[in-house]
Amino acid sequence: MKILITGGAGFIGSHLAAYFINDNEVFILDNLSTGHRSNVDFIDDAHFIEEDVMHKSFVTELIKQKQFDIVIHLAAVVSVVETINNPINSQSINIDSTLNLLEANRQYNAKLKKFIFASSAAVYGNTDELPKQIETFIDPESPYAIEKYAGEQYAKLYNKLYDLPTTALRFFNVYGPRQDPSSPYSGVLSIMDKKFKNDEPFTFFGDGEQTRDFVYIKDLVQAVAIVIDNEASNGKIYNLATGTQISLLQIFEKFKLIYNKSISYQFAEPRSGDIKHSCAEIKGLEALGFKPQYDIVSGLTEYINYSKTDK
């Protein structure tokens, strides 16, 4: 199959590309604003397209010419704080580009077998109900959350109105190798890992009691592959997680055990837009055959062993 991954030079996209490259022709579209060419050095220059997903005419022409079987749309402003600081710009990238990509495939790509939109658990906001279910009341608390919700709903609507084979996946807290800890808004596990590796103090934003449903990158890849192969997922939205929550303080203790040492830590004010508790109901994906293979200890152990060799 011919696969396009937007934002494919980033953390999640690079793992998906590495998985699918074995039996498919994989193209990556990435402007390298946050992704890294080195993440996908196994993709040759003919299949790596350094371009902005905002470039509507270019993206439309690319869809026309290549006739992709699969489109995995990851490109986005992923920092909640960045969307708060500049909501107009993030709307253009996170909503307008998604709509343009859907429309280009609707009009010019008769070969499309699956369009996957990367949504986020952020859409739920701080609603009390746990675990979060697809039918749970949506209460976005940031432009990022609103933009992801709009994107997934457009994907759903394009299936309903135009029979485009779309699926939206609400990613919970994904972690694993190649996650960039350099950004202050990167995944908390990659930041914590960097602090432990370098014996630096870690900062909890809030009291550390906030919980997350962490999903290892290999389980995410497994879920995407299952969705791609299953037509019953068309027009649907799924939580992509493990169905288990753990607090950041508990995670810190896991790091201490795996590293066999401790580091100092401090507490700061919670960040705007952050949610307190998060845990997913994943019965929808499980019905398709998804079963997480990594619990938090096995996932962290594999991730940390990788990071120790990544100097």
SS3 (DSSP) at 204: strand
CB-based contact 30:7 (threshold 8 Å): yes
Is the Cα torsion angle 199, 200, 201, 203 positive or negative in sign? negative
Instruction: Tell me the C-alpha distance between 244 and 228, whole Å.
Output: 24
Give the pair of three-digit tokens for residue 69.
């079987």
In this structure, what token pair is assigned to residue 121? 């658990």
Phi and psi at 229, nearest 5°, equal -85, 5
User: Is-contact 299 176, C-beta < 8 A?
Assistant: yes
Q: Which two tokens stand for residue 23?
A: 């039996």
Six-digit token string for 287: 């019905």
Helix locations, 9-54, DSSP H: 11-20
φ and ψ at residue 247, rounded to 5 degrees: -80, 160
Whether residue 144 lies in the annotated active site: yes
Residue 187 token pair: 């995944």
Q: Which of 19, 108, 124, 144 is flagged as catalytic?
A: 144
Active site residues: 144
